[in-house]
Each structure stands twice: as structure tokens, then as C-alpha cells.
Amino acid sequence: MSTLTLNPAPYIIIDFDSTFTKVEGLDELAAIALKGHPERDQIVQKISDLTNKGMNGEMSFADGLRQRIALLKASRSHIEELVSFLRTKVSDSFKRNTQFLTENAEQIFIVSSGFKEFIVPVATELGILADHVYANEFVFDEEGNIVGIDDENVLSMDGGKIKILSALNLSGDVYAIGDGYTDYELKASGLANRFYAFTENVERPKVTAVADHIATSFDDFLYDNKFSRSQSYPKSRIKVLLLENVHPVARKAFEEEGFNVEFVKGALDEDELCERIKDVSIIGIRSKTTITKRVLENANRLMAIGAFCIGTNQIDLDEAAKKGIAVFNAPYSNTRSVVELAVGEMILLIRNIVGKSNSMHKGIWDKSANGSFEIRGKKLGMVGYGSIGTQLSVVAEALGMDVYFYDAVEKLSIGNAKKVNTLEELLAMSDVLSLHVDGRKENTNMIGKREFDLMKDGVIFLNLSRGHVVDIKALADAVKSGKVAGAGVDVFPKEPKTNDEMFESELLGLPNVILTPHIGGSTEEAQENIGHFVPSKLLEFMNNGSSYGSVNFPEVQLPKLKDSHRLLHIHANVPGVLAKLNQIFAKNNINITGQYLKTNEHIGYVIVDIAKDYTEEFIQEVKEVEGTIRFRMLY
């Protein structure tokens, strides 16, 4: 069955401090008890150092424990305060899997060098049996002050955990989970079959070096042993590759979800990317990285691509779809930033501010109105009337401009903007011409010598869209001839991949030309917005299966999963797949609680929520349906 139980049932030995909880109990008790003490920080640090030395196997545990207790001045009231604090510090992956702990309580023990007084109240709330907690115990005086520890308790001695486990005499497999060297010693002694170094809270190299497996979470341990769990897969095993210095909030979003994130400042060329993308499940890029068919052929685990920008022409969308890889972008997050740059540049250029400023830097005072105009009353022509074009239309109109646009797709105009029927008509009438088209191949050299010849003499020309849509030589010639009185260019056919590469262009040094390094959307506000938006879409797809907002995938907005398991089946868009799936569901008496289907020209996306009772054979049948591209489960 999918909700696997421990059969044959191994015994699971779990450490408490920095494993079951995120912190070291004794260290926190010291911090609480010494509140207001003039040497509090120094004493707490000494206790923490002793803890770490013991956990790393660098000193006798028994000696370290007694030295820590000697530094501690605490009472029962402090322990009560500590318990309340520790309840808020239970490791996230243990909290997520309380059901597993409860259902398998007979097989689970906490064996800790900590103290029962604060371990039992916390552990039992998550299903651990009180008599399955083995730990040290404090000795108190009549006033309730801690005066020592129970020296007869074997856990106060070196090798105490080994002695406890030996006394338990457990028959069957034993798995030990912990962050300290004393936990590894259970495996080294032969009393445990496997040792899992638990690194969700702290990673100790000397401990991970001797582990059979590094468990980045309790989910990881459960997944490794095919036990029932709260998550269908441990997120620490999902590798995320973020390129081109995307905003830090994106990295934080994935790390907070528990994903394994690799961050690269620059872009990667095709050969580098073919190598780096292996074993990556999610990749985030901006405009300089190209994800080709060859790259996708090397992406053995890739499930989703995030374009941290508007355009997606740098991604082979059809090939990604055929491989069941969903692509998401940020169509609106940086529109305001691009619009503001366009408005700023058209004002600077039509006033010839660039030339005046350059002259001033040379000591030349040229106070003259010649060739300097207002934008009020001028005709703004926009090629493309999408998210950026429409917003620029509103701002330009508020500044007193007459707005006209041409778009190959029928668009409803906003405000007083007027649609013209042909590109040629727009070119001939515009005082300022601004491009806002996408990067499809058909738009290559959309504006060349012919188009510049059709424009008004002295036109102001802006390209903040895609580099390859303008013939740069033709633009340079138009500037030199005076046909174009000023130009603002933010995007280029060939752009440096990093800030260390030299930029070259025929536009260099030309008068009244503003060149910017593809920064139309590069404001702190825009990049932060994108950094929030794109990961949210990627995480919805990974965690919930929702593909709403994808540019190449059938769009499905899914409800949150409740008390069911969710099957996500991506298949080639051929007849009969859904019928075959339904036959498998019927044959296996599967109780369907929800079903969703959407297709596009390449693939079909079937999502089925089912009751938890099903066999592994059923899952295998679903995976083997002819035409299956990818299958995964969520719960």
C-alpha cells in the first residue's frame, strides 16, 4: 500500500538536541537561567563550545557534560521556561511527520545525552512514548535548584548511548539518526545497522564523514527507507540552479522550502550549461542564457524552467513541452521599470540633453534651444501593444503625447491611443518611435534600412525590446545621416555574458545616442518583484502541480491537496491516453476524489486526486501507459 508501515519493522533511534529540536537544550537552558548575569554571554559560549567538542568527538563526553553542568546555574522554573521554548523549536521535518511518529511509536526511541526533564514533555507531544525516552536526569536541592546530575545513569558516562542500546537488546534492524559523534558510535559498535547524519539544523563534517547516509531532514530518512511521510519527496534532493544573478529573494524562497540551491552570478554558454544542468530539477535564468534542444537533452531531471524576465525566446519552448518541462516567466513584474526608462530617454533625447551634458563635461557652455523640443503634442508610435506598450501608452498620454500603435494581434486600445493598420503607416507619422515586440525569430531585423527610410526626418528612436529586431548598422547609418535625431538602445543582437566582457557596437560614440546594458527591467523594485513572482509559480508547480501561468504547458489551476494523493501524468497529446488511465483506475478499484485534464498541441496534462489505498503495482501500470512523458506523485 502507499501508506507504508514498518514491516519488517526496524527500530529507529533518534537523538534529541539539534536533531529532534533545532537547538541544544542545555545551551538554551543556560541562556534562560543566566538572563541578566553580567557574564552571561561568555558562560553560554563556554557551554556551547563544550557541547560542540563533545558532539564532534573531540573530548570525553562525560567530562564535557560535567563541565557544562558546573557552569549552569538553573532551577525547575527555568526548565519550565525551556520546555515552552523547545516546543517552538521542534525540527520542521519532525513536526511534518507526527503521524509517522505516532503510528510507529513502539519502534521509535529517543536516546539522548540531554535531560528527561525537558525532553519528555516535548517529545511526547509528537507521539513519542514517555518510556521510550532515554536521557540524563538532573539532581535538585530542596529549593528546586539544579545541583548536579544522576551519576548512576549510564548516559552521563562515556559510551552511554551504546550501553543503553545494548541493554535494550532490540531484535531486528536498528537505524540511528543524529547530529553527533556519539550517535555514530551506535553504528560503530555494531548495535545499529545504519547511521544517518542529520543535517537539517547543524552539519558537523566529522560526523557526516562517517555516516552511511546524510539525512538533510526526517523526510529524507523516510524517503530513503520508503516509509510513509508527509512529503512525496524530500525537497533537499531537489536541485535548483539559479543563473545570471537573479534577485536574492528568489534564492531565499527556494531555500526556505528546503531545496538545494546553487547560485551563479553570470550566464553559461551551451557547453557549460549542458554539463551543469545534469541532475538539476529547476533552473532559473534571465535573458542571456539560452536553453536549446541540446541543453534539454542533457537535462535528465529537469521539471521546470523559470525565466526571470518577460521574454522566453531564449528557451526552446516546444522541446521543453515535449519533455514535460513547464516554463514560467514574469510578464508583468518589470513593466513599470521599462516604461520609466523609455519615458526618461525620450525626454532626454528630444531635448538633446545627452549632447549638452557631454559638452559640459568638456567645459563647453552651449546655452541654446536649437534642436530641443518638448514631448507634449508629439506623436508617440509604438510597435507592439502588450503589457509594456499599454502602460507606456497611459503615461505618455498623461504627459500630453498623442499615442498611436501597431500590433499584429488585434488589441483593445486604452485611453485615447489609436491603432493604425500597418507598420508603414506608423513609421511615417511618428515623432518618437518605441519598439515593444517579443523575441520570436520572425521579428529579426524588423526595423532595417527600408523602415528607417520610411520614418520622419529627425525621429527619436527607442528599442527596449529585443536586440535582434533592429539592424544595428542601418540604425547607425540613420543616426549619422540625421534621419534619426536621437536613439535609445537597451538591447543588442550580441551582448556580453558577464560584466567582465567588452561591449562592442557600431553605435559607440554616435551623437545623441543613449546606450544602456540591457537594464530596462533592472531596478531594485522590478527585480525583487520578479524574484517573488517566478519562484511562486515554480513552487506551485512543484508542490501542488498547478501550471497556471506557464508559457508552454497546459494551464491548470489546482486546489490544495487535502487527505488524498495527487497523481500528475504528463503524456504526448495522442488519442486514448485518458481512456487507458481510467481503465487502470477502474481495474484497481481506485477511489478518485478529483480529476483535471488540459492539453495543448504537444502534450496532455492529467491530474488525479485519489484515496490513499492503492498498490505499488497500480502506480507502475500508470507509469507504463503508452505515451507517458513524465509521472510524479504529491502528498
Which residues have a catalytic role annotated? 466, 495, 518
Half-sphere exposure in the Cβ direction for 114 (13 Å, CA): 32
**What count of Cα atoms within 13 Å lies in the side-chain half-sphere of residue 159?**
6
Rounded Cα gap, residues 303 and 51, in angstroms: 42
Nearest alpha-carbon partner for 392 in 375, 417, 373, 429: 417
Report which of 616, 628, 605, 607 is spatially closest to residue 561, judged by C-alpha positions: 607
Residue 426 to residue 431: CA distance in whole angstroms: 10
Instruction: DSSP for 314-338, please give it.
Output: TB-HHHHHHTT-EEE--SSTTHHHH
Q: Is the dihedral of CA 21, 26, 32, 38 positive or negative?
A: negative
CA-based nearest residue to 215, from 12, 429, 446, 511: 12
Quote the cell numbers at residue 468. Answer: 535582434
Helix (H) or strand (E) holding 13: strand 11-14
Q: Are the CB atoms for 502 and 495 separated by under 8 Å?
A: no
Q: Pairing state of beta strands 592-599 and 603-610?
A: antiparallel
Beta strand pairing call for 133-136 and 108-115: parallel
Do 398 and 414 meet the contact criterion of CB atoms below 8 Å apart? no
d(CA 393, CA 409): 17
Quick one: cell of 323? 519533455
d(CA 207, CA 181): 6
CA 466 from centre of chain: 27
**Rg (Cα) of the chain, in Å, rounded?**
32
Cα(455)–Cα(433) distance, integer angstroms: 9
Q: Where are the alpha helices (H) located in 443-512, listed in sequence order? A: 449-454, 472-481
> Angle of helix 61-71 relative to helix 25-33, nearest 10 degrees?
20
- Environment class of residue 48 by beta-carbon count within 10 Å: exposed (0-12), middle (13-18) or buried (19+)? middle
Cα dihedral angle (236, 239, 244, 250), rounded to 10 degrees? -40
Residue that the C-alpha cell 557596437 belongs to: 505
Q: How many CB atoms lie within 10 A of CB 153?
A: 17
Contact 306, 323 (CB under 8 A): no
C-alpha 167: how far from its chain's center? 46
Q: Which residues contact 283 (CB under 8 A, 6 or more apart)?
A: 240, 241, 242, 243, 277, 291, 299, 302, 304, 305, 306
Residues in the chain: 635
- Give the three cell numbers for residue 341: 526608462
